[in-house]
Structure 1
Amino acid sequence: MTSSELSPAERFSASRTRTRTPQLQAFRSRLSFGLDAFQIAACEVVEEGRSVLVAAPTGAGKTLVAEFAIHLAMQDPRDKVFYTAPMKALSNQKYQELVAEYGAGEVGLLTGDTNVNSRARIVVMTTEVLRNMLYAGSDLLDDLRYVVLDEVHFLGDRFRGAVWEEVIIHLPLDVRLVSLSATVSNAEEFGDWLQAVRGETDVIVSEERPVPLQQHVLVGSKYLDLFDSSGKAATNRVNPELVRAAS
């Protein structure tokens, strides 16, 4: 829809949004694709200075909100941003992506057994590393503006969840959180707790799944659908061929 097709009220609303979130407009101008409504809403929250919990299916584009927080941090030479992930493999992957975007001099990596450019303005790390920094009173926390908690649903993990809880509780209150999850089932309740602990926190939920979820089972050398797909509509009945192959 072009601006000429918008009503006066819609044009006014769009103009007010551009004025309120100029960095989001600049960020969007760099992209070769449009943003979904939940991405726009979450980025607006971050630019307006609040924390955000984004709950959306795998493949929906939650990470873009984290990338916008990094973009914001890079606008002020005093600001830093930490990107945390629950596994070293995810941390290594995100480090390579950010190096490609911002250059090796601006990005660091801390995973316990790897220490690369720890004083960079963008540092990727496992969540345990950040927890240890907090307890040690590390000076690397100075000027920290944003923390991305990728896979934040790990807070409910029986063995490791306390790490996420400790990070959320002990981070300085002026640090804004960008919490991302595809599987958190109680987003509103979780958001209420974040609000109580961290202050201003918005919850953005999207239930649209742009990437279809298909489940398969490998039996011997055969790759079979988990559920029966012989009819016109999807069912919850286990694929009879799978039952025969597994028996």
Structure 2
Amino acid sequence: KKKSAELIIEAQVKRKEAEVEKKAWEAWHTQKESIQKEISQDFDKGTKCLETFLQHCKSDVVKVTAELEGIEYCCKAWGEHCQPKEGHSPEMNFAVFLMQRIHNVLDKHEDQLSPTMLKKLARYLSYLGFLNLKDTVLGMIDAKQGQRIKKVLARAPKFPVGLGASRFQLQYMGPYLFREERKDPDPRVQHFIPDTWQRELLDAVDNNESAVIVAPTSSGKTYASYYCMEKVLRSSDTGVVVYVSPTKALVNQVVATVYGRFTKSLPEGMVVCGCFTRDYRHNVHNCQVLVTVPQCLEILLLSPHLQDWANKIQYVIFDEVHCLGGEIGAEVWEHLLALIRCPFLALSATISNPEDLTQWLQLVKSYWERVENSSEELSSTKMKPKSKRRQQTEAGKGSQTFKVRLVIYKERYNDLEKFVCDFEDNEYKFVPYHPCSALTVNHIEEYGIPSDLALSPPECLRLYDTMEYVFPQWSRAKELEPEEYKCFKNKVIIRKRDVREYEAELKKELVGWVKAGWKNKVEDVLLSLDPETEGTFGQEKKTNFPLLVETLQNMNLLPALFFAFDISMVETFATGLVQHLLRKSKRTKLPDSEKQKIRIENKLRKLSKYLKKEET
């Protein structure tokens, strides 16, 4: 039997859960009418309101109801505004939202779905024309009910998207496909649940190990850097962590992040963050987190009068360490990696041979381990007492292991879609660019397909269609057809791992064509994928930069980053854009006569409303 204390705790937990659920129901009943109205009038705005509610809702029961009712609102809005006309395709954003909500319900709340709810989901899937997925959902109910419902729902789809379920998900659902995520929290991380490879980085820092980290941009590898900084700041008031960045712009960005992220009470004269570049130095020798560029750190490490400061360094973080293979300044990176005795983190998204780099760094660390051991033997014979300040620094450092880990993670959180910008008839166009079009038959024959050449779901679909078109006698065409492929067939939720497996199969098949002697077929595939545009950024594009920005705005693709290596070009673009916006604002300003006309019309409208009320 449970003890009385345990029963009291259980009762309190249930009471709190009931209160949370009650508040969630009240919030939903308050907001659902306005959300339905928004979806009907402005679909994008309405769906954002629904997603905001779902993010803040703390009751799973209410979330399921809100999801299902949101799907119902979407279907009504689609029926009112987006009925497909003859010869025209339906609005896919409605279908994408509908499928996204079905994915969320089945993935996160499957255990809470009643047979009635599953029947609703099956009906929505049949609306889209995905009759095979409808049968899959009905299969979740008992077989007897499933057979009966199938007969009831066997009608013509209301809003057919004109594609099979697998092709639809590959073509339009790419950004929303679920990736593999861990469910168990890590006490070291408060705001998200880290993946396995991120936990390995945290373990390396906790064990005072060095690590080479190769992961795509925006995948979360930088978090280990800030965890490392936090560890050094917590351990002592004297230890130093150095963040090495290749450019001054990145230095400024990291400094701003450190200032916003960390605060600490330190002895007088000490600060949390310092900065050292060729143009600017601030709190270099009295900070615990120093952000700098490679050349400046080399100056500090080689200065004889700064060796006491260098001995305080507990970790060095090398961002964009692939600069080690660059043409300019590469030797400085090499010097630093060979000079430092403390553990390090080497971060990059584009190292082509991480195993070789890790092996070399391990040799360097092994050398310093031998030096450390020999110096300890020498000092033990002399038995010179250590100062109190040095003892505190060494206590903060902990025991260094001299091990260099290699952590590789290849999966991007979001796939990159590639386009070529083309300027024709005084208009900008963005032509899809397939990564395989950059390959040649000789390269595939000699090296295979590069491991870092990743394809998005639509690019996988386009590659299959091109291969099937070029080679009608292809023996595996039916097997790899998306609607028949083993990882996609009759699957309501296609996941990222399924797409990655499909991508690997297509690449393997393309390489197999080359080995089988069908080089002309591979050549035809690559030529068919090649965009029919040069895509060069010529003078006419440079002078029409404001038009490019407006095109991106009309496509809802702002904000955007535009990279240029010529600072004068950047200034010219910025000046031209400001002047264009000023001219445009002057043209849109109404003259006083127009403003007066609008004011009078508004007054007449209000007066007519008032007179109508008086008459009634």
- Shorter-chain TM-score bucket reads 0.7 to 0.9
1:223 is aligned to 2:451: no
1:208 is aligned to 2:411: yes
Once the 2 structures are TM-superposed, how far is the Cα of residue 222 of structure 1 from its aligned partner? Answer: 2.7
**Which structure's CA Rg is the greater one?**
2
Would you tell me which structure has more strand in proportion to its own residues?
1
In 2, Cα distance between equivalents of 1:109 and 1:69: 18
Find the counterpart in structure 2 of residue 111 from structure 1. Answer: 277
- Indicate the structure whose relative CO is greater, using CA pairs within 8 Å and at least 6 residues apart: 1
1:52 and 1:201 in contact (8 A); partners too:
yes
Residue aligned with 2:317, SS? strand
Once the 2 structures are TM-superposed, how far is the Cα of residue 62 of structure 1 from its aligned partner? Answer: 0.9
In 1, Cα distance between equivalents of 2:288 and 2:209: 20
1:165 corresponds to which of 298, 322, 334: 334
Number of aligned residues: 219
Find the counterpart in structure 2 of residue 102 from structure 1. Answer: 262
Find the counterpart in structure 2 of residue 5 from structure 1. Answer: none
Where does the alignment leave 5 or more consecutive residues of structure 2 unmatched?
A: 1-184, 265-270, 367-402, 438-455, 464-525, 538-616
Find the counterpart in structure 2 of residue 55 from structure 1. Answer: 214
2:461 corresponds to which of 225, 233, 240: 233
In 1, Cα distance between equivalents of 2:259 and 2:333: 26
Once the 2 structures are TM-superposed, how far is the Cα of residue 184 of structure 1 from its aligned partner? Answer: 0.4
1:132 is aligned to 2:292: no
1:52 and 1:179 in contact (8 A); partners too:
yes
Query: If the length of structure 2 is used for normalisation, what is the TM-score?
Result: 0.34
Structure 1 runs of 4+ off > 4 angstroms?
228-232, 243-246
Where does the alignment leave 5 or more consecutive residues of structure 1 unmatched?
A: 1-23
Find the counterpart in structure 1 of residue 235 from structure 2. Answer: 76
Residues 146-161 of structure 1 correspond to what in structure 2 (within 5 A)? 146-161=315-330
In 2, Cα distance between equivalents of 1:132 and 1:33: 39
In 2, Cα distance between equivalents of 1:67 and 1:117: 19
Compared with structure 1, are the counterparts of its residues 234 and 106 closer, same or farther at alpha carbon in structure 2 (3 Å cutoff)? farther
**Which shows bigger deviation, 177-186 or 104-113?**
104-113
- Could you give the per-residue CA deviations for residues 9-63 of structure 1, whole angstroms, max 9, x where no partner exists? xxxxxxxxxxxxxxx95531xx311111111011101211211111111111110
Compared with structure 1, are the counterparts of its residues 140 and 113 closer, same or farther at alpha carbon in structure 2 (3 Å cutoff)? farther
Output the amino acid matched with 1:98: V
Residue aligned with 1:218, SS? strand
Once the 2 structures are TM-superposed, how far is the Cα of residue 64 of structure 1 from its aligned partner? Answer: 0.9
In 1, Cα distance between equivalents of 2:430 and 2:221: 30
Compared with structure 1, are the counterparts of its residues 80 and 26 closer, same or farther at alpha carbon in structure 2 (3 Å cutoff)? farther
- Could you give the per-residue CA deviations for residues 178-221 of structure 1, whole angstroms, max 9, x where no partner exists? 11010001111111111000241111111112121222222233
Would you tell me which structure has more helix in proportion to its own residues?
2
Q: CA RMSD in A?
A: 2.6
In 2, Cα distance between equivalents of 1:92 and 1:234: 41
1:46 is aligned to 2:215: no
Compared with structure 1, are the counterparts of its residues 232 and 201 closer, same or farther at alpha carbon in structure 2 (3 Å cutoff)? closer
Find the counterpart in structure 2 of residue 187 from structure 1. Answer: 354
In 1, Cα distance between equivalents of 2:325 and 2:292: 20
Output the amino acid matched with 1:70: M
Once the 2 structures are TM-superposed, how far is the Cα of residue 223 of structure 1 from its aligned partner? Answer: 3.0
Once the 2 structures are TM-superposed, how far is the Cα of residue 75 of structure 1 from its aligned partner? Answer: 1.6
- Could you give the per-residue CA deviations for residues 69-116 of structure 1, whole angstroms, max 9, x where no partner exists? 111111222311000100000010000000001149311111111112
In 2, Cα distance between equivalents of 1:170 and 1:75: 26
**Which shows bigger deviation, 132-141 or 161-170?**
132-141
Find the counterpart in structure 2 of residue 27 from structure 1. Answer: 188
Query: If the length of structure 1 is used for normalisation, what is the TM-score?
Result: 0.80
Output the amino acid matched with 1:238: D
Once the 2 structures are TM-superposed, how far is the Cα of residue 142 of structure 1 from its aligned partner? Answer: 3.5
2:422 and 2:535 in contact (8 A); partners too:
no
Once the 2 structures are TM-superposed, how far is the Cα of residue 234 of structure 1 from its aligned partner? Answer: 4.0
Residue aligned with 1:208, SS? coil
Compared with structure 1, are the counterparts of its residues 232 and 37 closer, same or farther at alpha carbon in structure 2 (3 Å cutoff)? closer
In 2, Cα distance between equivalents of 1:140 and 1:128: 17
